[in-house]
Homo-oligomer: A and B are copies of this chain.
Amino acid sequence: MKRKITLKQIAKELDVSISTVSKSLRNSLEIGEETRLKVQAFAKFYNYKPNNIALSLKNRKTKTIGIIIPEIVHHFFSTVINGIEHVANENGYSVIICLSDDSFDKEVLNMEMLANGSIDGFIMSLSKETQFKADFHHITEVIDQGMPVVMFDRVTNEVLCDKVIIDDKLAAYEAVQSLIDKGRKKIALVTTVDYVSVGKLRTDGYVKALLDNEIPFDENLIIKIEDVDTCEITIGKLLEDKAIDAVFAVNELFAVTIIKTANKIGLNVPKDLAVIAFTDGIISKYSTPTITTVSQSGIKMGNKAAKMLIDRLESEDEDEDENYKTEVIETHLIERESTN
Where the two chains meet, the residues of A that have a C-beta atom closer than 8 Å to any C-beta of B are: 1-4, 49-54, 56-57, 62, 64, 71-75, 78-79, 81-82, 85-86, 89, 94-99, 110, 112-118, 144-146, 253, 256, 259-260, 263, 282-283, 286-288, 321
Evaluate contact between A286 and B256: CB separation under 8 angstroms.
Answer: yes
Query: How far is A78 from B113 in the complex, measured between Cα atoms in Å?
Result: 22
Evaluate contact between A97 and B95: CB separation under 8 angstroms.
Answer: yes
Evaluate contact between A116 and B51: CB separation under 8 angstroms.
Answer: yes
Residue of B nearest to A5 (CB): B145
Evaluate contact between B144 and A2: CB separation under 8 angstroms.
Answer: yes
A54-B57 contact given A85-B72, A94-B118, A96-B95, CB 8 Å threshold? yes
Query: How far is A62 from B114 in the complex, measured between Cα atoms in Å?
Result: 12
Evaluate contact between A117 and B78: CB separation under 8 angstroms.
Answer: no
Chain B residues whose C-beta falls within 8 Å of the C-beta of A97 in the assembled complex: 81, 85, 95-97
Evaluate contact between A49 and B112: CB separation under 8 angstroms.
Answer: yes
Query: How far is A85 from B282 in the complex, measured between Cα atoms in Å?
Result: 24
Query: How far is A79 from B77 in the complex, measured between Cα atoms in Å?
Result: 13
A94-B94 contact given A4-B116, A49-B112, CB 8 Å threshold? no
